[in-house]
Structure 1
Amino acid sequence: MPVTPARQRPLMTQMLRLPCACALSAAIAVGSLAIAMPAKAVADSPSNVVAVVNADPITRNTLSAQSVQRYGTEVIDNMINRHLIMQACQHNGIEVTKAEVTDEIRRLASKFGLSMDAYLKLLQEERNIDPNQYSREIIWPMLALRRLVAEKVEVTQEEFNHAFVAQFGEAAKCRLIMSDDEAKIRQLQARAKADPSQFSSLAKQFSEDEASASVGGLIPPIRRYSGDSRLEEAAFSLKDGDVSEVLELGDQWIFLQAVRRIPAMTPSPQALPAIREQISDRIRDEKMRSAASELFAKLQQEANVIKVLGNPELEQQYPGAGAIINGEQITLSLIGEECIKRHGEEVLDGEINRKLLTQALRKAGKQVTDADLQNEIDRAAISYGIVRGDGTPDAESWMNQVLEGGNVTRSVYMADSVWPSVALTKLVEDEMQLSESDLQEGFESAYGPRVEILACVLSDQRSAQKIWEMARDNPTEDFFGRLAEQYSVEPVSSSNMGKVPPIRKYGGQPAVEKEAFSLKPGQLSGIVATGGKYIIMRCQGFTEPVVTDRSAVQSELVRDLTEKKMRRLMAKKIESLRTTAEIDNFLAATANVPRESKTR
């Protein structure tokens, strides 16, 4: 299965060595491997510094270039769309102010019964949209388009009357039978016509509308001007108990039975002004959305857009431009600032890590060569089974799989995944040794016997004590399974009557493993506290070892254990570099004071 390196997560959340995935959001020249930049950087100045790593500065120009390289093509489409709207506003003398944007956000928040701050926080947490991005990329374009079409949108009296009737008018309560088979539906309709009292029973047995079949075909009340006019006409033409003719709606066939009429509601005179305003606003909003969508499509269709970024020939022809829209340029510097607004902190975090690795390599007297980079690509290809017929790595096919879909370029992949993985390997390779105990523990973990158990996981000690006593007093497997089904907070054990995957040695849960392997078949464990949970186990027995002769799997064992140990060492190394470094991050307004003094 092809695996594309992640692009939107910081290094420490990507510390999985395969495939070359110690990703740093940075791209610079490495050895003789030149990493292409989208544009020539502007001269840096001390006032342009966004971070300092052990007295080594990172400038805003560098951050801008790196951000554009990773996210420019993604960001530019949104910028082009907003620029088209802005040009239309300028042409029509329309301005949407910051206050109007704020008022609209406050209005939307109130619809959900939230304060503006709570609403924006919700967007940030659930949709990862920060307040500035929401204002700039969603609310402003929406308001601008609505202002552009406002004069063309008005609510007629007829539209208001229809909406009022749809909300407050008479309704028809009906039952429905649906099928995608015309012959079947006509047979059912004939039976219902012959004996209308059968309708509910027929709906339960034969209707393919699952939502209504279980309640004898009952559907929400049908109101005029609220949906398909044919359905409404059929419903309102029936008397109570009558069965309609068969109707074709989309790819389904249906017929109705009238149950009763629901009289129209008459709002109080005091409520009418507010109701009128509410209905008119809703109609206007719906019409504006439709008109705005049509206008935006027209703007896009009629625009003369030249997308320069990502096209080497156009970049030569229009230096410094990212796109040209109806003769107006969007510069690379503007695109860079937009990328920084969206992704700056993430990219800068990668740049900081890059600095740390580069400094550490220099201090250790080591360097990353092109041959090292190629070896890492070959290793990743082999790890994922991308090999030729003779077993050698097919690096080009691997790269094609990595770059499939165009979400990451070759240079970014090399800089963000391959180089950092090699750099960290160089920094920890001298520590990489497998001891006899490492090999024996790895062998037992991978191939040794495992404990078959039932488990019940509780969230607090009091509950665990209660369940343990119940399991002790009724020591049967069936009873324990029912306890797990009823009380376990762990989904697997709860849904499988306590059954969980067998416990292996050295699997990362020492307390659980120690207790499990001390049990005999049928024996109940004590309460094991681990990870904030309380676990009770019942032993069912032990599996047979998969392999008993370690020499038979020695090479595979060494490869796997080396990989795992290397990942741990690499994660430990980057964490150590960050915690012992002096880092000032001005973009995120954070600073790190090193835990240990260092010689500069």
Structure 2
Amino acid sequence: MAKYMLASPAHTRSALLTLASVVAICVLGAPGFADAQQRNEATQSPRVQTLAVVNGSSISRQEVANECMRRFGNEVLESLINKMLVFDECQRLGVTITEKDVNDDLSAKAKQLGWTTERYVKFLCEEKGISVDRLKRDILWSELALRRLAESQTQVSPQEVSERLEFEFGPKVQVRQLVVASRTEAEQLRTAAEADPASFEKICKQHSIDRNSASLGGLLPPVRLNSGFPEFENMAFSLEPGQLSPPFPVEDQFVVMKCIRKIPAEELAEGDISTASERIKSEIAREKLRGAALKMFERMQANAKIVNVMNDPQLRRQNPGVAATVNGKPVQLKMVSEESIVRFGKKMLAVLIRNRLLEQSLQAAGKTLDEEQTRQLIDEEIARVAVERGFVAQGQPQVQPFLEFMTRNDASKVEFYIEDEVWPSIALQELVRDNVEVTEEDIQKSFDANYGPRVEVRAIMFSDHRSASNIWKMATANPTEEFFGQLANQYSIEPMSKNNFGHIPPVQKYSGRPTLEQEAFSLQPGEISKVIQLGDYWTFLYCRGRTQPKVTDIEDVREYILRDVRTRKLFVEMEFARQKIFKESQIDNYLTGTSQPGEAYIRQTRESDGGRTQ
């Protein structure tokens, strides 16, 4: 692992850029590559060389460009090359995308959402953080060009539409599933369930290794046709209500399924079928377009002569200022650099500003660590997050698989993860570590929350109090669990409780939902709660009982709880410190055109003029 100092993340790594298979196909395009070349010529004109000033400390354009190139240069270069290939292919085939085409496409998409074109354009620009011109030139043009080039390969058959219609509106089957590791165990548990049919839900809770469904007694959302899992859906649709399936393999596990009910297909009017068919046809066409565009690019790249100059030291010396050539046409390095700033500069500058603030805060607090101590803290933080994310084997953090997951198996990005995520975290930890204190009350509350009994309930969610009150009257008139589940399936507006007949995860103490907790823990088995408000929703509960704690002595888990609570309180202090640092600081960001004087500067100004400044 690379070495990093606490007070300053490394900034001197050389970027290794490779042209891989096509990525970000529809991210960067233009009505012609000449536009990009013109922008490149514009880079020769004078530009602002200081992009930010942080408490008097400057961040230069070159610093931002270097970091953008390190992280995103490969992506930008690939996009520029892809743009050249698309433009050349459009010229070869006589495909022309006009400004009117782009505007018409925007209007059509806005109409599908029921929005005005202006509202839709504003939404896209704000979401992507780009200008209207850039939206049209760099995204929509590419999408239209690809659609025109690949439209012959995106024909949708009537059978495909029919299968999707059946998936959305066809019959469904509600089942419970028991998932175990071996066929022998599956057969034994199935035999037990066959002898006592009512026990299958309890068996799923106790023995199923699928954690998501186990907590709900194995209950799954309704199984649909044409879902992409034919073995699973075929088994589900072969069962009758109450029937158990034989054990069958799913990957390296074995499943026993019990049919709860069969849901008939939805009856649609002829007009609704036509509307749905048109929507589905468009969706499938878009899905096919992605595959067709990828194949088209593979063919383009196979036929093109692409030389990556940036990745070859000898070629860099022979071709100064050139990033790559495509069929003999140069892609200028300066253009890639400036395009990286345009696309990622704001994001990268925000990271540099944050790190500069942390460096200044550490220096002001006198927090200095040598290289070995910093490296140890980095390793400890990575190991801690690995455990938090579940990368553990035999009680030990699995750092390498965790880093592969965080960087999507790209080892070259490990240093960026450390600089952008790990280093800021340990810097904040060092700033606030002495402020964290764990009390006995903290430990007791954590024990009650994590190891104490929980209340098993069913719930029905509503958007208004009147509807909740009306259904509550129906539930209390027939206070059985089965009827409550039927009401949940019919009236609940929340998908999980609706599809699972009111089942929700057991309610625990100190979960951050005091109203729900108080009501749930006040109930006895078989009781129905009053109607309560949870944020913008209304609900009431049916109590099924309480879970039995597996740990009853707090001393058995004290050390674990102590570490956990300390970590949680540490993160709270870190967030307070982060907010305070930003509020106190004077920051001028010339790339975004924003400036803040900083509360510290304001206080100093007021003190210097006797409090006259307001």
Say yes or no: TM over 0.5: yes
Seen in structure 2, the aligned counterparts of structure 1 residues 55 and 545 have a Cα distance that, compared at 3 Å, is same
Q: Is the 8 A contact 2:6 2:368 kept in 1?
A: no
Look up the match of 1:375.
377
CA distance in structure 1 between the partners assigned to 2:70 and 2:121 by the alignment:
29
Following superposition, the deviation at residue 388 of structure 1 comes to 9.3
Letter in 2 for 1:356: L
What is the SS of the residue equivalent to 2:479?
coil
CA distance in structure 1 between the partners assigned to 2:359 and 2:566 by the alignment:
24
Letter in 1 for 2:13: A
What is the SS of the residue equivalent to 1:525?
coil
CA distance in structure 2 between the partners assigned to 1:506 and 1:113 by the alignment:
44
Of residues 104, 110, 125 in structure 1, which corresponds to 2:101?
104
Given the alignment of the two structures, is residue 423 of structure 1 paired with residue 427 of structure 2, yes or no?
A: yes
Following superposition, the deviation at residue 89 of structure 1 comes to 9.5
Seen in structure 2, the aligned counterparts of structure 1 residues 305 and 397 have a Cα distance that, compared at 3 Å, is same
What is the SS of the residue equivalent to 1:36?
coil
Q: Is the 8 A contact 1:73 1:310 kept in 2?
A: no
Look up the match of 1:36.
13
Following superposition, the deviation at residue 536 of structure 1 comes to 1.3
Look up the match of 1:556.
560
What is the SS of the residue equivalent to 2:530?
coil
Seen in structure 2, the aligned counterparts of structure 1 residues 563 and 320 have a Cα distance that, compared at 3 Å, is farther
Look up the match of 2:484.
480
CA distance in structure 1 between the partners assigned to 2:453 and 2:9 by the alignment:
51
Mapping 1:20-169, distance limit 5 Å: 31=8, 33=10, 35-38=12-15, 47-83=48-84, 101-111=98-108, 114=111, 117=118, 120-121=121-122, 131-138=132-139, 140=141
Structure 2, gaps ≥5 residues long: 17-42, 150-224, 228-292, 606-614
Q: RCO (CA 8 Å, sep 6+): is it higher in 1 or 2?
A: 1
Look up the match of 1:348.
349
Q: Is the 8 A contact 2:7 2:363 kept in 1?
A: no
Q: Is the 8 A contact 1:145 1:296 kept in 2?
A: no
Look up the match of 1:364.
365
Once the two structures are overlaid, the 10-residue window that deviates more, 58-67 or 573-582, is 573-582
Larger Cα-atom Rg: 1
Look up the match of 1:527.
531
Of residues 428, 444, 448 in structure 1, which corresponds to 2:448?
444
Letter in 1 for 2:378: E
Q: Is the 8 A contact 1:64 1:336 kept in 2?
A: yes
Of residues 387, 399, 406 in structure 1, which corresponds to 2:410?
406
Seen in structure 2, the aligned counterparts of structure 1 residues 462 and 398 have a Cα distance that, compared at 3 Å, is closer
Look up the match of 1:504.
508
Seen in structure 2, the aligned counterparts of structure 1 residues 34 and 581 have a Cα distance that, compared at 3 Å, is closer
Look up the match of 2:309.
308
Q: So what's the TM-score if we normalise by structure 2? A: 0.59
Following superposition, the deviation at residue 549 of structure 1 comes to 0.8
Seen in structure 2, the aligned counterparts of structure 1 residues 506 and 579 have a Cα distance that, compared at 3 Å, is same
Q: So what's the TM-score if we normalise by structure 1? A: 0.60
Q: Is the 8 A contact 1:459 1:533 kept in 2?
A: yes
Letter in 2 for 1:380: I
Q: Is the 8 A contact 1:82 1:137 kept in 2?
A: no
1:492-513: CA deviation from partner (whole Å, max 9, x where unpaired): 2222222211111111212211
1:172-224: CA deviation from partner (whole Å, max 9, x where unpaired): xxxxxxxxxxxxxxxxxxxxxxxxxxxxxxxxxxxx999xxxxxxxxxxxxxx
Seen in structure 2, the aligned counterparts of structure 1 residues 32 and 497 have a Cα distance that, compared at 3 Å, is closer
Given the alignment of the two structures, is residue 434 of structure 1 paired with residue 425 of structure 2, yes or no?
A: no
Look up the match of 1:565.
569
Letter in 2 for 1:69: R
Following superposition, the deviation at residue 570 of structure 1 comes to 2.5
Seen in structure 2, the aligned counterparts of structure 1 residues 338 and 476 have a Cα distance that, compared at 3 Å, is same
CA distance in structure 2 between the partners assigned to 1:142 and 1:394 by the alignment:
41
Look up the match of 2:204.
none
Look up the match of 1:174.
none
Letter in 1 for 2:100: D
Seen in structure 2, the aligned counterparts of structure 1 residues 553 and 55 have a Cα distance that, compared at 3 Å, is same
Q: Is the 8 A contact 1:379 1:393 kept in 2?
A: no
Look up the match of 1:238.
none
What is the SS of the residue equivalent to 1:367?
coil
CA distance in structure 2 between the partners assigned to 1:298 and 1:540 by the alignment:
61
Following superposition, the deviation at residue 36 of structure 1 comes to 0.9
1:359-392: CA deviation from partner (whole Å, max 9, x where unpaired): 2212212135433234332443364476899x77
CA distance in structure 2 between the partners assigned to 1:426 and 1:36 by the alignment:
26
CA distance in structure 2 between the partners assigned to 1:583 and 1:70 by the alignment:
24
Seen in structure 2, the aligned counterparts of structure 1 residues 304 and 64 have a Cα distance that, compared at 3 Å, is same
Give the share of equivalent positions with the same residue, in percent.
34
Structure 1, gaps ≥5 residues long: 1-26, 149-207, 211-291
CA distance in structure 2 between the partners assigned to 1:498 and 1:345 by the alignment:
46
Look up the match of 1:230.
none
What is the SS of the residue equivalent to 2:48?
helix
CA distance in structure 1 between the partners assigned to 2:144 and 2:492 by the alignment:
51
